[in-house]
Structure 1
Amino acid sequence: MLTSIENLDIGNNQFKTVPREIFMLKSLKVLRLSVNEIEELPTGFAELKYLENLRIGCNRLRNLPADFGECQSLKYLKLASNRLLEFPTVILKLKGLEQLLISANKIRVLPLELFENEKLQIFHAEGNPLQQPPIEVVNKGLANIREYCQAFKKGDIRDDRLRVLFLGASGAGKTTLCNALIQGHTHEDPERTIGIEQHPYELRDVKMTLWDFAGQLLYYNTHHVFITSGALVILIINLEEYGSHHDNSGSDEATNSSYDDLVGFWIDNIATRVPNAVILVVGTHIDNVEGSKNLMEDIMKRIKNQLDGESKKLQRRIENLCGAIDDDVNGRRKHIENLKSKAEHKLQVQYETPILVCSKEPKTEGLPKFKDAIVNWLGMKGFSLTEHRRDLAPGKTQKASSKKHAQIQRRACMRNVADLVKLVIQKVPGMEKPEQVYPVLKYLHSLGEVIWFDEIEDLRDHVFINPPVLSDIFKMVISDKVDKVVKPEIGELHAITI
């Protein structure tokens, strides 16, 4: 009889809801619902007492039903490539869960209690805009996640520093805007940025690091070394330069070329380097051009068209694969899931809040609105830091990580990982084995405090503990003005091996 079925696969269809008849299959152990269009799961899963394996990836789920936690036989759960904005806490009730796949959603915070389940052996969450634990830690696997959680609960790790990346073409005004945030007024910087500059900044009790990236294409290939996820990206556009090529029709070749160079190129770059990034678009030099508001509207329209075009291309590829007939069904399914994940994770451009700022001292037009936009982003991302830390580690007193970071900081640019780990274990109370140190290094990497490419074989044995010095080395390598760009603090560069 059908009611005795133990394995049911109705994936790769166009179901929008789960057929209620499934809950009559009391002997069901394996259920595959992946690659459908299901937006909500009904109650009733508690009826499937023997269900061990549930695959419901590549759908449109935003949450799980309240009775889902009663599936106590469940060992394998795949929720990858859905639309989960928050981690479904009902999963915490699944005490027998051994494998959990929630990749390619929009989850930002994972509850630490999840990793207290010792039965959980396989966990995947890549493709989420995770802030806690940092995605760099999560991608290293459960052992690193658990070490990180233990350190966080003890107060050894504190999440109170955010990164703001200033990107855009040369001469857009990135350095001027950075200085305006710090000093409270605008002025024209006499020299253009070489490589990358870092600036500490505090706004509304939130500590940030402003990363000012040089816009010259000469330095473009060094950017990916320093760009990590979880940052706010400020895309800065010189409206004076953009307007000099602008035609009222918005369709002439010169205007298109201007958009490609000043905007489109950077949108592609950000989409590649920082998936899920929040982008705040800022137009500068408004005092030097007429119709700046119209120019900005044209830019925002073109950005939307560019991203919509890419989205449609992805959708066509997905449709073509879904209709294909071949022998490699599993390979095709995986490819479809990857494309759907990519389609779901779009750049979050703040279309409603483009900022226009003046570029000449002592004017501050647009600067207050720019600060407000950053504050709004903090609120949108849930960065009320006091509440953020309390939710992650209730009842724990957080200790500043800066002291411990200072203990491992040295004048040298680079340290051997093994030597650095030994030093940390010797100097930092509570750090007793290498497995405790690695997640902290990944956390510091996510903040830009250190640079550690542990996934690259030739670099995994080295940690750059002073990123600004690494930036200076890049400046030396790609600039002919060595005496002007290399700072004295670097010391003897011949002693540094890269």
Structure 2
Amino acid sequence: MPLLNGNQNARKEEDFAGKKLKALPYELLQRGGDAVKVDLQKNRLKQINGISQLKNLTELNLSRNELSDFPVDITELYQLEKLYINQNNIKTIPENVFPSLEKLRFLKLSTNRLEKLPQDINRCLHLNYLNLSNNCLRNLDPLVGLSHLKELYVERNQLAELPELLFLNNSLTLFKANGNPLRKPPQEVCAGGLRDIQSYFAMLEADAPDVCTVKTMFLGSSMAGKSTLCRSLKQGCPVTVAEEDRTVGIEISEVGSEGVRFFFWDFAGQEEYYITHHVFITAQAFVILAINLSSYNMDAQSFKEKVGFWIKNLQLKIPDSVVLLVGTHIDQCTKENEVKEKKKHIEEQVKEMLETHTTNLERRMKNFQEMEDSSLYYDQINQIERLTEYKLKVVDFIPVDCTEQADIDKLHSRIKHEVLNKETFPSIEQTLPRCYCEVENEIQELLKNGDIAEHGIVSQSSLLYELKNRHETLDDDKLKLILQYLHRIGVIMWYKEIPELAGSLFVKPSFLISLFKTIVRHDLVQELNKISPAQLKSENALVIQKKRWISDYKDRASLNNVAIRILVRNELQKNNYGITDEELIEEVVGSKKREGSLLSLLKHFDVCLSTKHNSPLNPKANEFCPQKNWKPSNPIVYEPDACLFPSYLSDNKQVEQKWESDNTEDLNIHVYFLPEIPHGFFHRLVIRTCSLYSPFWIGKDQCVLCCGDKRFLLRERCDEDQFIEIRCKESELETPGEIQKAWGVIREIMKRLNTLTEQWQGLYLTVHSPCKSSDCDQYFQWNDWQEWLEDSGTSKFNVGLEEKQTCPNGHQRRTELLFPRTPDAST
């Protein structure tokens, strides 16, 4: 729609957003046909009687209201082109609505309660954008026939199958369907986007087989017996695992059982390995949580460490997963009824924990709903409601004596019973084209026959060449789509989004994980001490430098790149891999001139970041602004000489020294995490943020970074309320322009925080600015803060705010010191 000028524009575009309206304003209806664009979002409308008078309306925004019935008066808006009616409570849409809206091009119906679509929606022939995410839809068949549809979003519904005919639409360019229990095509196919889905249906035969695949993750504290369980189930008989043979990192194995294909992932229990768990813990998995009953004490601390920690992490990461509690080491429980009593205690504590989690969510949602203007908190209410729909299922506790064949058989039967339950695992059966399975089998055959080296690293080009020789009907593009699917289910690993690794595939994931554990391990100091003088000489290093590497790791959580290369080279040259190809070794471990693929992966997954201990600091360095070209003030480029692992830091001394002290007038934002901050979240945020801004100083739970001459503090607070605090020094904000620049940096930090949050389905965030008066515990809540992150130039994040804000205790401050002032809010 072309922009209009002057008073004419004021009459044509009516803005009533955030006015607490319960009915359409009289002045709007009086002007009738003059209105072309009307914004009624963020009100309390339950109906819109009279809207049909606006005969010339082309754009209508009814989002974030209280509509429970689709307003049929809209059918008389024949000129309507864009309709926002998202974030309401609409359950059904009657027939004969969309045939009347012949000019409708854009329709946003996300975040409602729709269970089905009207059959005649496909008669809305000019529709090119449709958002149906966050509803309860089970069927998309009515959409077939929308020939002009370009963008379609159906995320987080109840879809099990997608209609093949929908993807014959040549106009469709963007499609998203994550968060559905899909079996045809599987979610791992849909994650690749529209091209993958179209290719899937093109290759799908009429009699394509259903396959049953389950990723089974063995979790639990150190020495809980995970490896014993895993290996005993794999062998089908009791297997003894010595303490010195316990898992380091993650071990992967495949087990077939009566038509079900299990991928066993055995996760090491030491805390040092938790920082890599997020890479491999995925949704739609079956979790076996091992609990050492012989060392379990029936008290709060023992439950927290051996059970509660894992349940909480699963609630945050994959809240719709299925967890089987397995009590181990029962042969070492000697007291009468000891196993029975501990079993009962654990079951009672888990039940109470799950109930408390649900009660807390429901109570918080009720508090928002009972506020005077609940429509302002629609986003918060909806997010909490989404979390209440997740039901972490913890199935009955089963004690196991891993030395007894009968107990191994009992556990095996129980696992089979759970995974074949369609209510528990609705998408366990997945329909796949035969060529998907054939390509996977051929890769394993190439590995077995020695056509791919034992370590499993192969170039993309050579693997495609081998596979095309076996499949004349599959071109490079189709093969790449199949390889990407195999990557998503964990059969191979191909990180094509990392430029340095796009040309290589790891068809033996266990080998890649063995490289991870070379650096991320609980006994790293011991491994550094084992480095021989000959190995040091190969890197032109001295024994005195090795001592420095060890002290740096202990004191500063940093590991020298030369030490990393030696450790990984040693691992590669061990007898079980026998790698002597210097070119391959350099590709993995890197050299003095380039970074190896292993470090690229560790940085990609927020495990570490590059650093240089003695790089000079320039307080007058040019300010960095994202998406703008930056010129270094110093033409000399220093190569990083070490990697910092923030999760290993033990104090905040350096950070506190650089930050000095807080000031009540600092820009100050609190991002609250409910139910809690996930383990490792803060350090992953720090890594992502410090890769943008330098210099930086990182501590155990604090970080200071600089942008130009402005200092910013990130601080993790884990008191009764858990939040991450973001501050900017008040003394460095002399003008409104400087304040806005600081908000720009804070926006970049919060964007990364928000993106990281998406990896934890069970998280809910709220954002506050605390009152700036000392000894005042009041705060100002940010509503719609995510809109500000998406587009700071056009969002109405703080629409309706005055130039000054007053807290409930009467303390007043300029709004720009509490909220970022967007252009829309200041006009």
* Per-residue deviation, 1:201: 1.7
**8 Å Cα contact 1:416/1:461 also seen in 2:** yes
- Structure 2 counterpart SS, 1:22: helix
Query: Residue 575 of structure 2 is aligned with which of 482, 488, 492?
Result: 488
Distance 1:154 1:174 in 2: 42
* Per-residue deviation, 1:20: 3.2
1:64 paired with 2:108, answer no
Aligned to 2:321: 277
Distance 1:59 1:209 in 2: 37
**Letter in structure 1 aligned against 2:149:** L
**8 Å Cα contact 1:98/1:122 also seen in 2:** yes
Aligned to 2:73: 21
Greater mean deviation of Cα atoms: 110-119 or 479-488 = 479-488
1:401 paired with 2:439, answer yes
Query: Residue 381 of structure 1 is aligned with which of 419, 425, 449?
Result: 425
* Per-residue deviation, 1:16: 2.0
**Letter in structure 2 aligned against 1:370:** R
Aligned to 1:298: 348
Distance 1:429 1:338 in 2: 50
1:332-371 aligned within 5 A: 339=383, 343=387, 346=390, 348-351=391-394, 353-362=395-404, 364-365=406-407, 366-367=410-411, 370-371=414-415
**Letter in structure 1 aligned against 2:493:** I
Aligned to 1:328: none
* Per-residue deviation, 1:43: 3.0
Greater mean deviation of Cα atoms: 28-37 or 269-278 = 269-278
Distance 1:63 1:408 in 2: 47
Q: Deviations over 1:102-153 (max 9, x none)?
A: 1233434434433222111121223445454454543443223323443444
* Per-residue deviation, 1:13: 0.8
Aligned to 2:496: 454
Query: Residue 282 of structure 2 is aligned with which of 224, 228, 239?
Result: 228
**8 Å Cα contact 1:102/1:124 also seen in 2:** yes
* Per-residue deviation, 1:470: 1.4
Q: Deviations over 1:157-205 (max 9, x none)?
A: 9855332111222222322322343344555533422222222222331
Distance 2:135 2:384 in 1: 9
Distance 2:445 2:234 in 1: 28
Distance 1:133 1:317 in 2: 40
Q: Name which structure has the greater RCO, CA cutoff 8 Å, separation 6+.
A: 1
**Letter in structure 2 aligned against 1:83:** C
Distance 1:485 1:158 in 2: 40
Distance 2:209 2:481 in 1: 10
**Letter in structure 1 aligned against 2:214:** L
1:195 paired with 2:239, answer no
- Structure 2 counterpart SS, 1:8: strand
Aligned to 2:135: 82
Distance 2:110 2:384 in 1: 10
* Per-residue deviation, 1:96: 3.1
* Per-residue deviation, 1:215: 1.4
Distance 1:309 1:17 in 2: 29
- Structure 2 counterpart SS, 1:13: coil
Distance 1:491 1:402 in 2: 25
* Per-residue deviation, 1:383: 5.4
Larger CA Rg, structure 1 vs 2: 2
Query: Residue 264 of structure 1 is aligned with which of 308, 328, 331?
Result: 308
TM-score, with length taken from structure 1: 0.80
Distance 2:293 2:413 in 1: 18
Aligned to 2:291: 237
Q: Deviations over 1:285-332 (max 9, x none)?
A: 456334144223223224414643674598589879x8697xxxxxx9
Aligned to 1:161: 213
* Per-residue deviation, 1:432: 1.9
Q: Deviations over 1:196-234 (max 9, x none)?
A: 222222233112211111112222223233333332222
Distance 1:261 1:313 in 2: 27
Unaligned runs of at least 5 residues, structure 2: 1-32, 34-51, 334-338, 531-569, 590-597, 599-827
* Per-residue deviation, 1:492: 2.0
- Structure 2 counterpart SS, 1:370: helix
**Letter in structure 2 aligned against 1:138:** C
* Per-residue deviation, 1:457: 4.3
- Structure 2 counterpart SS, 1:224: helix
The count of aligned residue pairs is 471
* Per-residue deviation, 1:79: 0.7
Aligned to 1:444: 486
Aligned to 1:126: 178
1:408-419 aligned within 5 A: 409=447, 410-411=452-453, 412-419=455-462
Greater mean deviation of Cα atoms: 306-315 or 174-183 = 306-315
Distance 1:299 1:238 in 2: 16
Query: Residue 34 of structure 1 is aligned with which of 83, 86, 98?
Result: 86
**8 Å Cα contact 1:449/1:467 also seen in 2:** yes
Greater mean deviation of Cα atoms: 419-428 or 470-479 = 419-428
**8 Å Cα contact 1:81/1:341 also seen in 2:** no
Q: How has the CA–CA distance of structure 1 residues 143 and 230 changed in structure 2, closer, same or farther, with 3 Å as cutoff?
A: same
Q: How has the CA–CA distance of structure 1 residues 399 and 466 changed in structure 2, closer, same or farther, with 3 Å as cutoff?
A: closer
Q: Deviations over 1:325-380 (max 9, x none)?
A: 7xxxxxx99x769946963673x4224x3231222422634526623443344564
Q: How has the CA–CA distance of structure 1 residues 262 and 300 changed in structure 2, closer, same or farther, with 3 Å as cutoff?
A: same
* Per-residue deviation, 1:466: 1.0
* Per-residue deviation, 1:422: 4.6
Aligned to 2:516: 474
Distance 2:159 2:278 in 1: 24
**8 Å Cα contact 1:6/1:28 also seen in 2:** yes
**Letter in structure 2 aligned against 1:114:** L
Distance 2:164 2:342 in 1: 48
Distance 2:200 2:237 in 1: 40
**Letter in structure 2 aligned against 1:264:** G
**8 Å Cα contact 1:157/1:398 also seen in 2:** no
Distance 1:337 1:112 in 2: 35
1:115 paired with 2:115, answer no
- Structure 1 counterpart SS, 2:438: coil
Q: Deviations over 1:48-95 (max 9, x none)?
A: 3413322111112232233434433432211112233x3422222433
Distance 2:417 2:286 in 1: 11
**8 Å Cα contact 1:186/1:359 also seen in 2:** no
- Structure 2 counterpart SS, 1:291: helix
